Amino acid sequence: MAVLDNPLAVPALVILVLVFAAIGLTFIFQKKASNSTYLVLGPTDAGKTALFTRLRYNKRTPTITSMKENEAILELVNDDGTPITKKPIQLIDVPGHERLRFRYTDFLPITRGVIFVVDSTTIGRSARSTAEYLYDVLANQHTSKSNIPILVACNKTDLFTALPTSKIQTLLEAEINRLRATKSAAVEQQESSGETMSEYLGYEGQDFKFEHLENDVTLAGCSVENGDLKCVTEWIADLS
């Protein structure tokens, strides 16, 4: 072709392709980074609304079981008043009630991170139901495709009955391992009926571990009651 006979044609074409690739990548990364919504999920009574209220108003207020989402745009600041994130974040507290919690999926496409709150004092008894909810969040296609990071905030560390974070991790991993086995049959059914598939969690043939997931799952202890929320605010600051 006559155009390609020009000695400058190939370098020009390469430069053009590189420029388009750079523009495309910038667009993709900007879009991902521009998500500034953090979801507060977890079973009922874990302390989600208490956490929301503490981060929003920096105070402790009595809460009752939530029947609808609490949403706010807020600026998290250090003790000296300087913002810890580049721009304000949106915080959405989704009720833990089993009939209402499913609404969290509507927000996943705009979610930068999930704060999954658990009650460290009752998790021994509620590990299975808590793991079921966490499993749903982790196996959701949006979570894995967009690599949404999850902070499992082990709340109520102020109470002496609180289990250590390492124990909570072992409990949740063991329950997710069990659930994964029972759910894989359901996934096969979904595939054959053409329904939306959920992701297989971890590695086949190996016991489930959070570290096997592509998205970061961090567990950390906190106490909304004592205002000990450094693990939450630092985690948000790192992602923003």
Q: Quote the CA–CA distance of 17 and 19 in Å, as a whole number.
A: 5
What is the torsion angle, in degrees rounded to the nearest 10, for the CA atoms of residue 87, residue 41, residue 183 and residue 203?
A: 40
Task: Provide the CB-side half-sphere exposure for 36 (13 A, CA).
Answer: 15
Q: Which of 95, 113, 202, 221 binds ligand GTP (CB under 6 A)?
A: 95
Residue 223 DSSP class: B
Q: Which does 76 bind (CB under 5 to 8 A by kind): Mg ion, ligand GTP, none?
A: none
120 binds Mg ion, rule: CB under 5 A: no
Q: Which of 35, 45, 56, 66 binds Mg ion (CB under 5 A)?
A: 66
User: In whole angstroms, how close is the CB of 105 to ligand GTP at the nearest point?
Assistant: 16
Q: Which of 36, 39, 41, 49 binds Mg ion (CB under 5 A)?
A: 49
152 binds ligand GTP, rule: CB under 6 A: no
Mark the segment that binds Mg ion (CB under 5 A) among 45-53, 110-118, 147-155, 189-197: 45-53
Q: Quote the CA–CA distance of 180 and 201 in Å, as a whole number.
A: 7
User: In whole angstroms, how close is the CB of 224 to ligand GTP at the nearest point?
Assistant: 4
The closest of 203, 201, 220 to 153, measured between CA atoms, is 220
* Measured CA angle at 38 (ends 135, 128), to 5 deg: 20
90 binds Mg ion, rule: CB under 5 A: no
Give the interface with ligand GTP as residue ranges (CB under 6 A): 42, 44-50, 63, 65-66, 95-97, 155-156, 158-159, 223-225
